[in-house]
Every structure is written in C-alpha cells, then in structure tokens.
Structure 1
Amino acid sequence: METMELGRTGTQVSKLALGAMQMGGATSEADSIRILDRYLEAGGSFLDTADCYEWWAHRGSRGGESEELLGRWLRNRRDRVFLATKGSAVPAYSDELWNADGTANWELARRTFAGAGADTLRHALDGSLKRLGTDHVDLYYVHVDDVGTPLEETLEALSGLVTAGKVRYLGWSNVRTWRLEAIRRLCERYGWVAPVALQQQHSYLRPKAGNASASIVGAEQWDYLTEHRDLQLVAYSPILKGVYDDPAKRAGHWMMENYAGPDVGARLAVLNEVAAELGSTPNRTVLAWLLHQARPSVVPLIGPKTPEQLDDLLPALEIKLDASQLARLEAAGA
C-alpha cells in the first residue's frame, strides 16, 4: 500500500485508512483482529476510532469498546500505526438512550453529546489514552462540531493537549465550512495549533440539492479544501455502506436520502461502465476514483464489518484509472 503526506505535515500515512467503529460491537473480537492483521499486512497504517464507538450497539453501553479492543491489539504494534481517535460525541448516559426495541434514541443522543468544552476534551482524551494503552494519539478530532462552546475555549484546550505531548495533530469532523475558516483565523491570531485533517462524509455521488447536513462535503467545502491544501480530507463512508454494488440495497437504504437527485442515474451509469472496463466492481472503482483525487487529495476511510469485506475492497489499491476514465467519471451527471 502506498503512503501519502497528511496535509502539509510532512508525516506519511497509508493512502487507505481503516475505521474501527464496529470493532468490539457489531464485529466480533476475533474478526476484528483478523481485519486489523490483514490491513497491517497489506501495508496499512492509518487507524481511526472514537471514544463513543459503539455505544449504540447494545443497551447500557457507555462507548469505548472499539478503543479497548484496539488497545489490546496495539500491544507491540503501536509504533507501526498512525492512530486517530475523537472526542465530544459521547451522549449523557440515560436509560432513555435506547428505545423499547433496543435501538438507539438518536434524537436524545444528539441533544446530549458531551461537547467540546475544555475540561470535557481533557478528560475524554485521558480516557481514550487509557483504553488504547498509549501515551499519545497521532490525530485527535473534535468528533461533532460544538457551536454551544466558544471556539476559543476549545482551541486553547486542544492546543494544550498537543503541547503536553498527548496529541501530535488535531482534526475536526462533521463541521461547516464557515466554522473551519473561523477556526483557522483564531489559531493564527492566538498562535494555537491548527487542525490538519477534516473528516467528512464524501463519495462519488453528489449530495442532493438542498442537503442541509454539516457532515457531507459539498461544492463549497470542496472548493475550500482545494485552496487550503494543508487541511487533509479523510472521507468516511466512501462507498456509502456498499450501495454501489447492489441496486436492491441502494433502492431502500437510508444512506441514499442525502444523495437522491437528478444526476444519480447518470453517475451510476458511467461508474458501472468504467468498472466493467476495469474488470472491477463499482465499490472498488469508487475507492480507486477517490484515491486518484489530487486537488484536494483524499484519504478514503473504510469500515469493513468482516474480513471478507476488507479482502473485497483491497484490490482497489491496484486499480489505475486513465485520464479518459477520470474525465468521464467527473463529467457524469448534471
């Protein structure tokens, strides 16, 4: 697996990142270990988790299962990985976080996220470090942008975590472009450590007109990233839960709610044509397309639930799209 520079930090990371959200929850420990070992063997080094993963997997959880599992696996491997985790999105514990049928009450969770207050982040990071069994993380994200806490408080606290040696680099996730600009200006004004990574949802399909999500890269945010090359885009849900390979799954999947629009059919048609030319699958072709992006560059963050799903996606690393194929994929649709 090839590596690339993270933003303009000078630090090399693998071009494909591995998300551990389901590890310790939906994915068993045995399968999680197989996925992690296979990714490392393939040359991968960029691991991503969060302190809230995966509280919604079962009633009574407070999150942290993913970090705990990674902590066990990381023993004698810590120096081989670039480790990212996140804070701010653990909801206040309550029995009401789960509905009667055991599903998560996301409406309540979103109203009670821990947020990005200074003390909250300091305690959250200490908890993450303990679960991960390490004295530092390479990248620490504000998981969910907290507009209720002054940015100055959050940024000063985060900068202090870097100064203390507990964090190497900072990032932000699920955030609007205007907030990114405010963050950058405050860091420049006060000499605080600025974020070098932005983790957002990004894929081949374009978000639909009127999409109000702060979590999905739109045209404005793409332009912003093009002009600010020191901010690395890490794209989560790059294959939208695998819907590109399965029309039946795509037709009824909630993930499509943010993407249904007039150019979906045209983009899928070209994607399928190019995939056929390559002897590949649409999912792999989407990953390859993202890996070919240069302005701005993209680190796709995959989250396979099983070892078989990882093995199905890794061949995307070998796909070479020529200039004509890239142009057709880019031009497809409205």
Structure 2
Amino acid sequence: MQTTELGRTGEQVSKLSLGAMLMGTRTDEQTAFRMLDRYLDSGGSFVDTADCYAWWPAPGNTGGESETVLGRWLAARGNRDRVFLSTKGSAWVSDPDRYRGRPERPDYAGAGADTLRKALDDSLTRLGTDHVDLYYVHVDDRATPLEETLAALTGLVQAGKVRHIGWSNVRTWRLERILGLCDRHGWQAPVALQQQHSYLRPAPGARYLSIVDDEQLDHLRANPSVSLVAYSPILKGIYDDPAKRDGHPAMGDYAGPDAEARLARLTTMAGDLGVTPNQLVLAWLLHQTDPAPITLVGPRTPDQLDTALGALDIKLTDEQRTLLDG
C-alpha cells in the first residue's frame, strides 16, 4: 500500500482510503469487522465515515450506524493509533423517513458553530475516541457565514478534538474564499477536498457541485496544500457492466461521446491486462500525480474490497497512461 502526504501537513496517509458508509446497515457488523481487518492487514490506514451514514438504506436507519460500528471495532482491536480516522458533519438529517427514497435534497443540519460542535461530540461518542484526525464540512452550507464555520472548526482543533479539517461537495470559488479567509484570520485551513472524481469526465452542462471539473483540478494544482480525496471513483461499479450503465443515475453527469470513447479505451485495455475495468479505473487514479488524489472506495462486501485492493498490483506504463488520458 503506497502512502501520500496529506496536503502539506507532513502526514502520510494511504493512497487507497476505505469508506465505511454502509457499515452497520447494508454491511453487517461482523462483515464490517472482517473488511476493516483486511484493509489494515493490506497496509491501509485511512478510514472514512460521516455522522449521517447511513440513514437511507432502510426504515429504522437514522444515521450514526457507521460510526457506531467503527467505534466497536476500534475498541475490540485496540488499534486507534494505527488508523487515520476521518468523519464529517453538517449533513445530518433529523427526519430520515421524510426523505428516504425521494429525490429531493434533504434539509441538512448545516455548518453553524453550535451545530458542528454538537455533531462532533456526538461522533466522538459513537467512535469511542477523544479526537478524529480529519473532520470535514460534509455539505457546503451557504446559509451560514463562512467566518462562523471556520472559527468554530479552528476552535475544535485548538480543543484537541480534531487534528485537520477538510471540505466536501463545494465549488471552486467557495474553496478559494475559504482559503482566503483562513489566511487572513489565521484560522485552520482545509487540507483535504473530498469530491466525486473518476476516469470519466463530466459532460458539458453537467451539475458540477460535487464533481471535480477542469477548473477545480487547476485550482488544486496551484494549491498543493489541499489534497483531493476522490469519492465514488468507480461510479457505483458502472465500468464493469454496460447493462448497468444504461440509464444508471451515476451516468447522468457523464454521458456523451467523450464518455463512450473513454469507456471503449478502458474496456479494451482492461481486457488486454486481464483485469476488470473497475480495477483499471482505480489503478489509473492511483497513478495520477498532478494532482495526486487519495482514492476513496466504499465496498459493501469483502469480495468488493478484495477487487479494489487488487488494483494496487496494477502497474501502468507511461504509454498505457497516455492512451487512457488521451
């Protein structure tokens, strides 16, 4: 397992991060423990969750299930010092039944100072730890002044409850404003940007709120103090299955001639290499250097985790990378 520096913090984290979103709901606790053990045994260290994970899979799920399972695992294994632990606040949903199975955007808790302080304390209780290594604003909150949010996050770092902060699902102009305010006031600046990023490129006219586009990549190249954490790298597994891609919501922001050309090139090369297209996408991301993302996978089963870990063994030549990029 290769590591990479988180921003310019000096902190080394594994380039392949394990997302625990469905642990405690669609992935039962015993299976989750097996997967977490397997990930650490492979050399991984970076485990990602959020306070709202996961209220949507089934009636009775409320959020907090993932953190609770992780807390039990950390206690059972006594391995907190081996894990770079990240969680998120601001996207808690107080009435999950109102939104479960519906397309509208939920009424998130937001990033107010009191809200974040309580959300973090609740997360720490579920996780059974006195601090997290990385704490994200999960969903950018434009209704709350950034000054309030950033001052509160800085206070959480000063209190020793958070080591680093990050932001997720945010547009580039907002990230630049955040960085400017932090520089001006001496507040804790984000060192991680968690966005959706994959081999397919967003189509013209797509909604770019949560998806990395060319402008955001350019911004990250100019600001190496912020690391890209790429979530949904295999877009719910659509690369392996043409039938699954047809009409899948994950394709909505990508569909078009560019995607068709990329899928054809990817499928051919995966066949030549004897790997799956999903694995090749992960390998492609792990080979990126400008910027160098941290690739976040969220497997539901041990087999899915093993498939993702298999991407670590795929070594792409410069020629193969050029073919994929082109």
Give secondary structure in 2 for the equivalent of 1:57: coil
Describe the superposition over 1:264-284 as per-residue Cα deviations: whole angstroms up to 9, x where unpaired. Answer: 111111112221232211111
For 2:16, give the aligned amino acid: L
1:93-104 aligned at under 5 Å gives the runs 93=95, 95-98=97-100, 103=101
Letter in 1 for 2:228: L
Per-residue CA deviations over 1:267-317 (Å, capped at 9, x if unaligned) read 111112221232211111100100011110011100111001111121110
C-alpha distance 94-295 of structure 1, shift in aligned 2 (>3 A): closer
SS in structure 2 of the partner of residue 206 of structure 1: coil
> Is the 8 Å Cα contact of residues 304 and 310 (structure 1) preserved in structure 2?
yes
Query: Structure 2: any 5+ residue segments left out of the alignment?
Result: none
Q: Which runs of 4+ in 1 moved over 3 A?
A: none
The equivalent of 1:42 in structure 2 is 42
Amino acid in structure 2 at the alignment position of 1:82: F
The number of residues matched between the two structures is 324
**1:232 matches 2:227:** yes
2:239 to 236, 244, 248: 244
What residue is the counterpart of 1:174 in the other structure?
169
Deviation by residue 1:150-171 (Cα, 9 ceiling, x = unmatched):
0000000001100100000000
SS at match of 2:246: helix
Residues 77, 106 of structure 1: alpha-carbon distance in 2 compared, 3 angstrom cutoff: farther
Residue 214 (structure 1) shift: 0.6
1:189-240, Cα deviation, whole Å (9 max, x unpaired) = 0000000000000000011111123100011111111111111000000001
**Structure 1 unaligned residues grouped into runs of 5+:** none
Instruction: Give deviations 1:65-103, integer Å, cap 9, x for gaps.
Output: 0000000001201011100000000123264234xxxx3
Residue 21 of structure 2 is matched in structure 1 by 21
Give 1:262's match in structure 2, choosing from 257, 265, 270. Answer: 257
Moved more, 110-119 or 268-277: 268-277
The CA deviation at 1:57 is 1.9
* Residue 70, structure 1, aligned to residue 65, structure 2: no
| Counterpart code for 2:38 | R
Which residue number in structure 1 is paired with residue 88 of structure 2? 86
SS of residue matched to 2:33: helix
Matching residue's letter, 2:20:
A
Structure 2 CA distance for aligned equivalents of residues 302 and 275 of structure 1? 19
Q: How does 1:1-334 map to 2 (within 5 A)?
A: 1-75=1-75, 76-93=78-95, 95-98=97-100, 103=101, 105-107=102-104, 110-331=105-326
Cα deviation digits, residues 309-331 of structure 1 (max 9, x gap) = 11112111011111111111111
Q: Distance in 2 between matches of 1:132 and 1:19?
A: 15
C-alpha contact (below 8 Å) 1:233/1:299 kept by paired residues: yes
Contact 1:209 1:261 in 2 (8 A): no
Identity %: 65
Cα deviation, residue 10, structure 1 = 0.3
Q: Is the 8 A contact 2:19 2:48 kept in 1?
A: yes
Identify if the C-alpha distance between structure 1 residues 94 and 311 changes in structure 2 by more than 3 Å, giving closer, same or farther: closer
Amino acid at match of 2:86: A
CA distance in structure 2 between the aligned counterparts of 1:74 and 1:291, rounded to whole angstroms: 27
Distance 1:319 1:15 in 2: 14
State the AA in 2 paired with 1:31: T
TM-score, normalised relative to structure 2:
0.97
Counterpart of 1:292, as a letter, is H
C-alpha deviation, 1:263, in angstroms:
0.8
Distance in 1, Cα, partners of 2:32 & 2:103: 26
Paired with 1:203 and 1:32, the residues of 2 have a C-alpha distance of: 25
Letter in 1 for 2:295: P
CA distance in 1, matches of 2:236, 2:188: 34
TM-aligned CA distance change 1:260 to 1:94, over 3 Å? closer
TM-align CA RMSD = 1.1
Q: Whole-Å Cα distance in 2 between the matches of residues 184 and 298 of structure 1? A: 19
The answer to whether the 8 Å contact 1:171/1:196 transfers is yes
The CA distance in 1 between the partners of 2:103 and 2:261, in whole Å, is: 33
Instruction: Tell me the TM-score normalized by structure 1.
Output: 0.95
Taking the aligned partners of 1:264 and 1:255, their CA distance within structure 2 comes to 12
